[in-house]
Protein backbone atom coordinates (compact mmCIF):
# COMPACT_ATOMS: atom_id res chain seq x y z
CA UNK A 1 0.00 0.00 0.00
CA UNK A 2 2.77 2.49 0.66
CA UNK A 3 5.18 3.52 -2.04
CA UNK A 4 8.01 2.37 0.17
CA UNK A 5 7.23 -1.25 -0.39
CA UNK A 6 6.24 -1.01 -4.03
CA UNK A 7 9.20 -1.93 -6.18
CA UNK A 8 9.95 0.64 -8.86
CA UNK A 9 13.13 1.81 -10.59
CA UNK A 10 13.63 4.36 -7.85
CA UNK A 11 12.58 1.96 -5.05
CA UNK A 12 14.42 -1.26 -5.81
CA UNK A 13 13.95 -3.01 -2.46
CA UNK A 14 10.86 -5.10 -2.20
CA UNK A 15 10.78 -4.41 1.54
CA UNK A 16 12.64 -1.80 3.51
CA UNK A 17 13.99 -4.50 5.82
CA UNK A 18 15.75 -6.23 2.89
CA UNK A 19 18.56 -3.81 3.62
CA UNK A 20 18.80 -4.83 7.29
CA UNK A 21 18.71 -8.47 6.29
CA UNK A 22 21.64 -7.88 3.99
CA UNK A 23 23.65 -6.18 6.77
CA UNK A 24 22.81 -8.82 9.33
CA UNK A 25 22.98 -11.85 7.06
CA UNK A 26 25.84 -10.99 4.78
CA UNK A 27 27.93 -8.02 5.86
CA UNK A 28 28.14 -8.56 9.58
CA UNK A 29 26.78 -12.02 10.38
CA UNK A 30 26.44 -12.85 14.04
CA UNK A 31 29.64 -14.37 15.42
CA UNK A 32 29.47 -18.17 15.08
CA UNK A 33 26.66 -17.92 12.56
CA UNK A 34 27.11 -18.68 8.90
CA UNK A 35 26.47 -15.98 6.32
CA UNK A 36 23.03 -16.50 4.92
CA UNK A 37 22.98 -18.32 1.61
CA UNK A 38 20.63 -15.89 -0.02
CA UNK A 39 23.07 -13.08 -0.52
CA UNK A 40 26.10 -15.21 -1.25
CA UNK A 41 24.25 -16.61 -4.19
CA UNK A 42 25.02 -14.32 -7.10
CA UNK A 43 21.77 -15.29 -8.78
CA UNK A 44 19.69 -14.21 -5.82
CA UNK A 45 17.15 -11.56 -6.80
CA UNK A 46 17.34 -10.15 -3.26
CA UNK A 47 21.05 -9.57 -3.76
CA UNK A 48 20.42 -7.67 -6.99
CA UNK A 49 17.87 -5.38 -5.40
CA UNK A 50 20.24 -4.53 -2.55
CA UNK A 51 23.01 -3.82 -5.06
CA UNK A 52 20.72 -1.57 -7.08
CA UNK A 53 19.66 0.13 -3.86
CA UNK A 54 23.31 0.93 -3.08
CA UNK A 55 23.94 2.14 -6.62
CA UNK A 56 21.16 4.71 -6.22
CA UNK A 57 22.27 5.59 -2.69
CA UNK A 58 25.92 6.21 -3.63
CA UNK A 59 24.99 8.04 -6.82
CA UNK A 60 22.49 10.43 -5.26
CA UNK A 61 23.76 11.15 -1.73
CA UNK A 62 25.76 14.26 -2.54
CA UNK A 63 26.72 17.09 -0.21
CA UNK A 64 24.09 19.36 -1.78
CA UNK A 65 21.39 16.70 -1.57
CA UNK A 66 22.07 16.18 2.14
CA UNK A 67 22.02 19.93 2.88
CA UNK A 68 18.72 20.25 1.07
CA UNK A 69 17.14 17.38 3.04
CA UNK A 70 18.43 18.83 6.29
CA UNK A 71 16.76 22.14 5.61
CA UNK A 72 13.57 20.43 4.50
CA UNK A 73 13.20 18.05 7.46
CA UNK A 74 15.21 19.26 10.41
CA UNK A 75 12.93 22.14 11.33
CA UNK A 76 10.54 19.24 12.27
CA UNK A 77 7.49 20.83 10.75
CA UNK A 78 5.94 17.74 9.12
CA UNK A 79 3.63 16.65 11.91
CA UNK A 80 3.20 16.29 15.66
CA UNK A 81 2.55 12.77 16.87
CA UNK A 82 2.27 10.88 20.12
CA UNK A 83 4.64 7.94 20.19
CA UNK A 84 1.66 5.65 19.52
CA UNK A 85 0.66 7.65 16.47
CA UNK A 86 4.24 7.50 15.22
CA UNK A 87 4.33 3.71 15.59
CA UNK A 88 0.98 3.31 13.93
CA UNK A 89 2.12 5.59 11.13
CA UNK A 90 5.34 3.61 10.75
CA UNK A 91 3.47 0.34 10.70
CA UNK A 92 1.57 1.39 7.57
CA UNK A 93 4.92 0.61 5.91
CA UNK A 94 4.18 -3.07 6.22
CA UNK A 95 3.38 -4.47 2.85
CA UNK A 96 -0.07 -6.01 2.57
CA UNK A 97 1.35 -8.71 0.36
CA UNK A 98 3.95 -9.70 2.96
CA UNK A 99 2.63 -12.72 4.83
CA UNK A 100 5.52 -12.59 7.27
CA UNK A 101 3.99 -10.35 9.91
CA UNK A 102 6.93 -11.03 12.22
CA UNK A 103 8.79 -8.44 10.29
CA UNK A 104 6.58 -5.46 10.98
CA UNK A 105 8.28 -2.37 12.27
CA UNK A 106 6.81 -2.49 15.79
CA UNK A 107 8.16 -6.03 16.19
CA UNK A 108 11.68 -5.00 15.26
CA UNK A 109 11.56 -2.11 17.73
CA UNK A 110 10.10 -4.24 20.49
CA UNK A 111 12.50 -7.13 19.96
CA UNK A 112 15.41 -4.70 20.10
CA UNK A 113 14.20 -2.98 23.27
CA UNK A 114 13.22 -6.21 25.01
CA UNK A 115 16.65 -7.73 24.33
CA UNK A 116 18.22 -4.63 25.92
CA UNK A 117 15.88 -4.90 28.88
CA UNK A 118 16.63 -8.61 29.38
CA UNK A 119 20.31 -7.73 29.70
CA UNK A 120 19.49 -5.40 32.58
CA UNK A 121 20.44 -2.09 30.95
CA UNK A 122 19.12 1.27 32.09
CA UNK A 123 15.65 2.33 31.07
CA UNK A 124 16.77 5.08 28.66
CA UNK A 125 18.75 2.41 26.77
CA UNK A 126 15.59 0.29 26.50
CA UNK A 127 13.69 3.33 25.23
CA UNK A 128 16.42 3.99 22.68
CA UNK A 129 16.04 0.46 21.37
CA UNK A 130 12.34 1.02 21.09
CA UNK A 131 12.67 4.31 19.22
CA UNK A 132 15.80 3.88 17.10
CA UNK A 133 14.09 3.28 13.75
CA UNK A 134 11.12 5.63 14.10
CA UNK A 135 12.91 7.97 11.69
CA UNK A 136 11.84 5.61 8.93
CA UNK A 137 8.58 7.55 8.82
CA UNK A 138 10.58 9.52 6.22
CA UNK A 139 9.34 6.92 3.75
CA UNK A 140 5.80 7.97 4.44
CA UNK A 141 6.70 11.56 3.67
CA UNK A 142 7.52 10.33 0.18
CA UNK A 143 11.29 9.90 0.48
CA UNK A 144 12.89 7.18 -1.65
CA UNK A 145 14.40 4.13 0.10
CA UNK A 146 17.97 5.24 -0.63
CA UNK A 147 17.33 8.43 1.39
CA UNK A 148 15.90 6.59 4.40
CA UNK A 149 17.89 3.40 5.02
CA UNK A 150 21.32 2.06 4.09
CA UNK A 151 24.53 2.55 5.99
CA UNK A 152 25.55 6.17 6.29
CA UNK A 153 28.82 7.91 5.39
CA UNK A 154 30.17 11.46 5.54
CA UNK A 155 29.46 13.66 2.53
CA UNK A 156 31.71 16.60 1.63
CA UNK A 157 34.94 14.59 1.85
CA UNK A 158 36.52 11.51 0.32
CA UNK A 159 34.41 8.33 0.52
CA UNK A 160 35.91 5.41 2.40
CA UNK A 161 36.34 2.20 0.46
CA UNK A 162 35.10 0.39 3.58
CA UNK A 163 31.56 1.52 2.83
CA UNK A 164 29.56 -1.25 1.12
CA UNK A 165 29.79 -1.26 -2.68
CA UNK A 166 32.42 1.50 -2.77
CA UNK A 167 32.70 1.17 -6.56
CA UNK A 168 29.40 3.02 -6.90
CA UNK A 169 30.93 6.18 -5.42
CA UNK A 170 32.53 6.74 -8.83
CA UNK A 171 29.01 7.66 -9.99
CA UNK A 172 28.65 10.34 -7.31
CA UNK A 173 29.41 13.80 -8.78
CA UNK A 174 31.10 14.85 -5.50
CA UNK A 175 33.86 12.32 -6.09
CA UNK A 176 35.02 14.40 -9.06
CA UNK A 177 34.70 17.72 -7.23
CA UNK A 178 38.02 18.91 -5.73
CA UNK A 179 36.09 20.76 -3.03
CA UNK A 180 34.71 17.47 -1.76
CA UNK A 181 37.04 14.65 -2.77
CA UNK A 182 40.06 15.17 -0.54
CA UNK A 183 40.67 13.39 2.76
CA UNK A 184 39.20 16.29 4.76
CA UNK A 185 37.08 17.94 2.07
CA UNK A 186 35.02 20.73 3.67
CA UNK A 187 35.98 19.66 7.22
CA UNK A 188 38.81 20.26 9.64
CA UNK A 189 40.92 17.57 11.24
CA UNK A 190 39.24 16.41 14.48
CA UNK A 191 36.25 18.73 14.00
CA UNK A 192 33.88 16.24 15.67
CA UNK A 193 31.10 14.26 14.05
CA UNK A 194 28.56 16.85 15.15
CA UNK A 195 30.08 19.09 12.47
CA UNK A 196 30.08 16.41 9.80
CA UNK A 197 27.16 15.90 7.42
CA UNK A 198 26.35 12.22 6.98
CA UNK A 199 24.40 10.83 4.07
CA UNK A 200 20.74 11.55 4.68
CA UNK A 201 18.56 8.93 6.35
CA UNK A 202 16.52 7.85 9.36
CA UNK A 203 19.41 8.18 11.87
CA UNK A 204 20.10 11.88 11.54
CA UNK A 205 16.42 12.67 11.31
CA UNK A 206 15.47 10.81 14.50
CA UNK A 207 18.43 12.31 16.33
CA UNK A 208 16.88 15.74 15.80
CA UNK A 209 13.43 14.48 16.80
CA UNK A 210 14.75 13.09 20.11
CA UNK A 211 17.66 15.37 20.98
CA UNK A 212 15.87 17.28 23.76
CA UNK A 213 14.63 14.15 25.52
CA UNK A 214 17.30 11.46 25.74
CA UNK A 215 20.76 11.31 27.36
CA UNK A 216 23.86 11.74 25.24
CA UNK A 217 24.80 8.06 24.79
CA UNK A 218 21.26 7.38 23.55
CA UNK A 219 21.56 10.19 21.04
CA UNK A 220 24.85 8.82 19.75
CA UNK A 221 23.26 5.38 19.30
CA UNK A 222 20.36 6.87 17.37
CA UNK A 223 22.43 9.23 15.25
CA UNK A 224 25.18 6.80 14.26
CA UNK A 225 23.65 3.32 14.37
CA UNK A 226 23.90 3.00 10.55
CA UNK A 227 27.39 4.54 10.35
CA UNK A 228 29.02 1.11 9.96
CA UNK A 229 32.19 2.52 8.39
CA UNK A 230 32.84 4.22 11.74
CA UNK A 231 31.56 1.81 14.37
CA UNK A 232 32.50 -1.44 12.61
CA UNK A 233 35.35 -0.48 10.27
CA UNK A 234 37.12 2.22 12.35
CA UNK A 235 37.09 4.64 9.44
CA UNK A 236 36.85 8.45 9.59
CA UNK A 237 38.67 8.77 12.91
CA UNK A 238 40.35 11.92 11.53
CA UNK A 239 36.98 13.69 11.67
CA UNK A 240 36.21 12.62 15.25
CA UNK A 241 36.82 14.53 18.46
CA UNK A 242 37.47 13.14 21.93
CA UNK A 243 33.74 13.02 22.71
CA UNK A 244 33.00 10.90 19.65
CA UNK A 245 35.72 8.44 20.62
CA UNK A 246 34.31 8.22 24.12
CA UNK A 247 30.77 7.65 22.88
CA UNK A 248 31.75 5.09 20.25
CA UNK A 249 31.56 2.30 22.83
CA UNK A 250 27.85 3.06 23.32
CA UNK A 251 27.16 2.92 19.61
CA UNK A 252 28.97 -0.42 19.54
CA UNK A 253 27.05 -1.68 22.54
CA UNK A 254 23.79 -0.93 20.78
CA UNK A 255 24.59 -2.51 17.41
CA UNK A 256 24.15 -6.22 18.29
CA UNK A 257 20.69 -5.51 19.69
CA UNK A 258 19.73 -3.91 16.40
CA UNK A 259 21.14 -6.71 14.26
CA UNK A 260 20.74 -9.91 16.23
CA UNK A 261 17.73 -9.52 18.48
CA UNK A 262 15.22 -11.36 16.30
CA UNK A 263 13.51 -13.87 18.51
CA UNK A 264 11.18 -16.64 17.46
CA UNK A 265 8.61 -15.78 20.12
CA UNK A 266 6.91 -12.48 19.40
CA UNK A 267 6.89 -10.15 22.40
CA UNK A 268 3.37 -9.70 23.68
CA UNK A 269 2.60 -6.03 23.27
CA UNK A 270 -0.54 -6.05 25.41
CA UNK A 271 1.45 -7.42 28.35
CA UNK A 272 4.36 -5.07 27.85
CA UNK A 273 2.41 -1.90 27.21
CA UNK A 274 2.16 -0.70 30.85
CA UNK A 275 5.96 -0.84 31.19
CA UNK A 276 6.44 1.15 28.00
CA UNK A 277 3.71 3.65 28.90
CA UNK A 278 5.70 4.48 32.02
CA UNK A 279 8.88 4.77 30.05
CA UNK A 280 7.35 7.12 27.48
CA UNK A 281 5.83 9.27 30.23
CA UNK A 282 9.18 9.49 32.02
CA UNK A 283 11.18 10.74 29.02
CA UNK A 284 8.90 12.06 26.30
CA UNK A 285 6.35 14.81 25.95
CA UNK A 286 2.81 13.79 24.94
CA UNK A 287 3.36 15.00 21.37
CA UNK A 288 6.65 14.80 19.54
CA UNK A 289 7.50 17.04 16.58
CA UNK A 290 8.54 15.18 13.42
Sites of contact with Fe ion (CB under 5 A)? 133, 258
How far is Cα 256 from Cα 210, in angstroms, rounded to an integer? 22
With b for 16 or more beta-carbon neighbours within 10 A and e for fewer, the 115-152 pattern comes to bbbeeebeebbbbbbbbbbbbbbbbbeebbbbbbbbbb
Cα-Cα-Cα-Cα dihedral sign, residues 64, 13, 24, 124: positive
Nearest distance from residue 112's CB to Fe ion, in Å? 6
Nearest distance from residue 51's CB to Fe ion, in Å? 20
Nearer to Fe ion, 129 or 185 (CB): 129
Nearer to Fe ion, 254 or 280 (CB): 254
How far is Cα 151 from Cα 181, in angstroms, rounded to an integer? 19
The terminus-to-terminus CA distance of the chain in angstroms comes to: 22
* Contact between 104 and 98 (Cβ < 8 Å): no
Nearer to Fe ion, 133 or 143 (CB): 133
Nearest distance from residue 123's CB to Fe ion, in Å? 19
Nearest distance from residue 17's CB to Fe ion, in Å? 9
* Contact between 264 and 104 (Cβ < 8 Å): no
Torsion-angle region of residue 214: left (phi > 0), alpha (psi -120 to 50) or beta?
beta
How far is Cα 263 from Cα 242, in angstroms, rounded to an integer? 36
Nearer to Fe ion, 21 or 258 (CB): 258
Beta bridge partners of 198: 154
Nearer to Fe ion, 145 or 185 (CB): 145
Nearest distance from residue 5's CB to Fe ion, in Å? 16
Q: Give ∠ CA 202-262-93 in degrees, rounded to 5.
A: 40
Nearer to Fe ion, 93 or 157 (CB): 93
Nearest distance from residue 48's CB to Fe ion, in Å? 22
Amino acid sequence: MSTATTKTADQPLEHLHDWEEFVEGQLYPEPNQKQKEDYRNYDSPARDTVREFYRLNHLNQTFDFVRQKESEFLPLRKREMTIYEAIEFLNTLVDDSDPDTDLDQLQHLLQTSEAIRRDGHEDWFVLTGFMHDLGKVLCLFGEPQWAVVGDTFPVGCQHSDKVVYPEFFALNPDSKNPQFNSRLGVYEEGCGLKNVHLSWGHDEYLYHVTKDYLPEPALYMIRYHSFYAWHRENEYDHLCDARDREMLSWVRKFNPYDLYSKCPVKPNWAELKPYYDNLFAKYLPAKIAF
